[in-house]
Amino acid sequence: MQLMHVNEERLWDSLQAMARFGATPAGGVTRLALSNEDRQARDLFCEWLRAAGLDVRVDDVGNIFGWREGAEPHLPPVLLGSHLDSVPSGGKYDGALGTLAALEVVRVFAEADIHLRRTIGAVAFTAEEGARFEPSILGPSVITGRFTVDHVYSRPDVRTGVLFGHELARIGYKGDIRGRSPRPRAFLELHIEQGPQLDAERLQIGVVEGIVGVKWFEIHFRGEATHAGTPPMATRRDALHGAARFICDVRRLADTLGGTALATCGRLRVEPDVINVVPGVAVLGLDIRHADTAELERYTDTVRVLIQQVADNEHLGFSYEAVQSLPATRFDETLVGLVEKAARTGGLRHKRMVGGIGHDSLWMARFCPTAMIFVPCRSGKSHCEDEDISPEDAAAGADVLATVALELAQS
């Protein structure tokens, strides 16, 4: 194995050209799924795919594929890609890097006139972010059978209520089922880390072994709303005080577990939410993550005990509901090994790591052998206009992508 090299300047120019669609004054992008800005981005991507001599197909959920036929077209293809949509006031590289690096890899193969055994494709998946239509990662969800296409068509815009299917047709990207990808030999996704580790450790490549499992809970504590001026402290049943104790306890638990255990209380609502009334109700949103599915289950059991303990100690009623549960994803070890080998072969500073966030690969991994390559983003910032990467790191990631893709396409 030898590290392939993409055209760093062309990749960077593509990223900057794509970033014009939905560009914000502060240097980010707002390119919500199926918006006019998304259409512009798709149009340019298709133009580039065609210019690279690829066969462009759009499937029924709007995923765009550009295929370069291999010598043995009956073999399962190798697929590379990511997404082009963004969150509001998001960054230029989340999704776009993986999509345009896939294009760049195919461009390089075409330019170098490399004849591959397998068909290779570059894909831009539809609606990864979940910022306009919920939940996230809708494009791969249809391919992998998580949702029917009709279910996805009926998802409403979270703000205006307009339907996904209507918007997909409006922007001209409602393809048909014949545009869907066959089950690939492998799916590879290059992505910015969206976390601080690689940048802090001055590494160039993250060899992603998997994505953490995630559970979301909505937890209700119920006490008694009373006037702040009368009940002695000892007699109070303060739902917010219970929630506060739980927030501290679950933080301590995650600190104690260490490793990949994470805990976040991101959402909190208090009733009646009046400065001089002891809160009678507190509703808390909890997100816990762990790279190991069995550990995540044990972690969840301990969280349940904490909720119960706090409620008992504070004389509160409680209930909780699991609002989302995704098991941990382990990527295909052969592919992960190839990514690691490519990075090592190329003399790139790298480490194995576990991704903390959902990506298109999360669902693709349930469909075919999948792996991801991370590159650093400055200070770990993402989903914001400050999101930034270097041209060298972008190219290094694309080099690894090209190298692994070549290996797989010839095997």
Quick check: 357 binds its own copies (CB under 8 A)? yes
Of the residues 286, 291, 311, 404, which one makes contact with its own copies according to CB under 8 A: 286
Nearer to its own copies, 54 or 296 (CB): 296
Nearer to its own copies, 300 or 410 (CB): 300
Beta bridge partners of 205: 350
Residue 240: CB minimum distance to its own copies, A: 6
Binding pattern for the stretch 175-214 against its own copies, x by CB under 8 A and - elsewhere = ------------------xxxxx--------------x-x
Task: Label residues 188-201 b or e (16+ Cβ within 10 Å = b).
Answer: bbbbbbbbeebbee
Residue 243: CB minimum distance to its own copies, A: 7
Residue 30: CB minimum distance to its own copies, A: 15
Nearer to its own copies, 140 or 346 (CB): 140
Binders in 123-182 for its own copies, by CB under 8 A: none
Nearer to its own copies, 229 or 347 (CB): 229
75's tokens: 């073999």
406's tokens: 């070549």
Stretch that binds its own copies, among 99-107, 147-155, 337-345, 376-384 (CB under 8 A): 376-384
- The CA dihedral of 64, 69, 74, 77, to the nearest 10 degrees, is -50
CA distance 261 to 240: 25
Of the residues 247, 296, 339, 373, which one makes contact with its own copies according to CB under 8 A: 247
Residue 216: CB minimum distance to its own copies, A: 6
Of the residues 25, 161, 266, 347, which one makes contact with its own copies according to CB under 8 A: 266
CA distance 380 to 369: 27
Query: Are 143 and 102 contacting, i.e. CB atoms less than 8 angstroms apart?
Result: no
Number of H helices, E strands in the chain: 12, 13
DSSP 23: B
CA-to-CA dists, residue 238 to 229, 251, 272, 282, 283, angstroms: 14, 20, 12, 9, 13
Of the residues 42, 68, 92, 289, which one makes contact with its own copies according to CB under 8 A: 289
Nearer to its own copies, 171 or 284 (CB): 284
385's tokens: 């206009």
Quick check: 92 binds its own copies (CB under 8 A)? no
Closest to 86 in 3D by CA, of 76, 77, 96? 96
DSSP 178: G
Which amino acid, 237?
Answer: R
Binding pattern for the stretch 327-356 against its own copies, x by CB under 8 A and - elsewhere = ----------------------------xx
Quick check: 287 binds its own copies (CB under 8 A)? yes
CA distance 185 to 124: 18
Residue 247: CB minimum distance to its own copies, A: 4
CA distance 171 to 376: 33
The count of residues interacting with its own copies (CB under 8 A) is 58
Residue 286: CB minimum distance to its own copies, A: 8
356's tokens: 């903390």
Q: How far apart are the first and last CA of the chain?
A: 13
Instruction: Tell me how many degrees the CA angle 224-265-90 measures, rounded to the nearest 5.
Output: 135
286's tokens: 């909890």
Stretch that binds its own copies, among 18-26, 243-251, 331-339, 399-407 (CB under 8 A): 243-251
CA distance 61 to 342: 33
H helical segments located in 128-275: 138-143, 149-153, 164-170, 197-200, 239-257
Nearer to its own copies, 73 or 259 (CB): 259
Quick check: 265 binds its own copies (CB under 8 A)? yes
Quick check: 15 binds its own copies (CB under 8 A)? no
Nearer to its own copies, 51 or 228 (CB): 228
DSSP 215: E
Stretch that binds its own copies, among 96-104, 147-155, 249-257, 395-403 (CB under 8 A): 249-257
Quick check: 293 binds its own copies (CB under 8 A)? no
Residues that bind its own copies (CB under 8 A): 193-197, 212, 214, 216, 226-235, 238, 240-241, 243-245, 247-248, 251, 254-255, 261-268, 270, 272-279, 285-287, 289, 323, 355-358, 380, 382-383
